[in-house]
Amino acid sequence: MTRLGRDRGNGGRPSAAWLTALLLAAVAVAAAGCGGAAKAADAQPTASAQPRLRVMIFGDSTTQETAGDYTWRYRLAAHLSFSAPGRVDFVGTRDDVHDNVSDTAGSHAYLNPVFDSQHSSVWGDSLYLENPKVESVLQKVPADVALVLLGGNDLEFRTNAPQTVVKIKQFVDNARKANPKLTFVLGHVLTRWNPDFNAIALPQAVDYNKLLDQQAPGWSTPTSQVITAPTDLGWDPRKDTWDGSHPNPNGEMVIARGFANALHDLGIGGKFGAVFGNLTWPEKGGVPVAAPAGGTHYTVTWPAAPGATAYLIERRTGSTDDQTYVRWPAQIKGLTFTTENLPRGSTVYYRVIPVKVWMTGQPGPAVEINVPSSRA
């Protein structure tokens, strides 16, 4: 297996000579049926001439993510499909997201499920839990590169910043027992937001990330590179999460950029580019139906939207020139809503918008209610 690495005599960047040698070795490895080497920067062979690089992603809920999400894994896979087509194969022990509504694993309700979704991330995971089993995971599912975004739950519940650095070094050591040639990309832990106190939560992540950057390069061996990924660059948990901890579409892009640019430093894929923010959650409300509920009341019901924790109801009246929808002031926690008495002879439309804690989705189609002009 060819190792991934960087020429330390070239400021940590891959040298042209090293990349050329690596490319030739990669083609030889591919012919022998073994996986994984970095893409050469200067030579441009076809994707079929290069071995596929097996990449395993380890993480907690920030990485597994939830029903109704794209996930940052999707963003990274999309980036690599364009900048390194056919070069990366995501591998792992699972391919699901967590259902945040039922609080159960095993959901496949991605916003777009059409991507290489295998990973080894699980809700609530930590280095404390992962360290004893990472060797067996990699023995069961071999990998060439490990992308790791763990440590946040350790920092919050178990260990301080220096102790957490010791924990992730143990992760590296244990993983090498399964594959001493494994390349590691260790992501920065992300701060969180506490809306009750209007303050940053998990501030100890900042100290941890500094220590990680200082120490991790020294963990490299002649066959196993260790680098860090600036997954926190530009991160703002107030704007980049839907609940203070878990990434919204903006946050997914920020995390994916950090890992993509670290992989680029290893010669894998291109630079991610700018993240502009203000991305919307594209989940739409389902198709509602309406049924009489006595008098001129109607009961409106709709199907659940993946990941939605509440819903907004909007109404407009078709008998006027104003086509503007007016929003009901309170969020609806269930899947049903009973209208006020509607004017007789009117045509009224109701539509539903999903909400995921403080992230608002898109309006779905409206149901039309034609209120009889007189009692039957």
Average pLDDT over residues 326-350: 96
Closest CA to 78 of 47, 46, 112, 53: 112
pTM of the model: 0.86
Average pLDDT over residues 195-220: 97
- pLDDT at position 277: 87
In the chain, alpha helices (H): 16-31, 61-64, 72-83, 127-130, 134-140, 152-157, 161-178, 204-215, 237-240, 249-265
Closest CA to 5 of 256, 159, 152, 224: 224
- Other CB atoms within a 10 A radius of the CB of residue 50 amount to 22
When mean pLDDT is compared across 5-14, 160-169, 251-260, 283-292, the lowest value belongs to 5-14
- pLDDT at position 276: 86
Cα–Cα dist 262/248, whole Å:
22
CB within 8 Å of 41: residues ≥ 6 apart: 14, 16, 19, 267
Is the pLDDT confidence value at 21 over 60? Answer: no
Side-chain-side CA neighbours of 258 within 13 Å: the count stands at: 25
Is the pLDDT confidence value at 53 over 70? Answer: yes
Q: What is the pLDDT of residues 90-113, one digit of tens each?
A: 999 999 999 999 999 999 999 999
**Which residue type is seen at 329?**
P
Average pLDDT over all residues of the chain: 88
367 vs 28, which has greater pLDDT? 367
**Which residue type is seen at 202?**
L
CB within 8 Å of 204: residues ≥ 6 apart: 155, 160, 161
Is the pLDDT confidence value at 11 over 60? Answer: no
Tokens for 76, please give them: 């990274």
Burial class (CB in 10 A: 0-12, 13-18, 19+), 376: exposed
B/e letters for 131-145, b = 16+ CB within 10 Å, e = fewer, are: beebbebbeeeebbb
Helix (H) or strand (E) holding 50: none
Average pLDDT over residues 317-345: 90
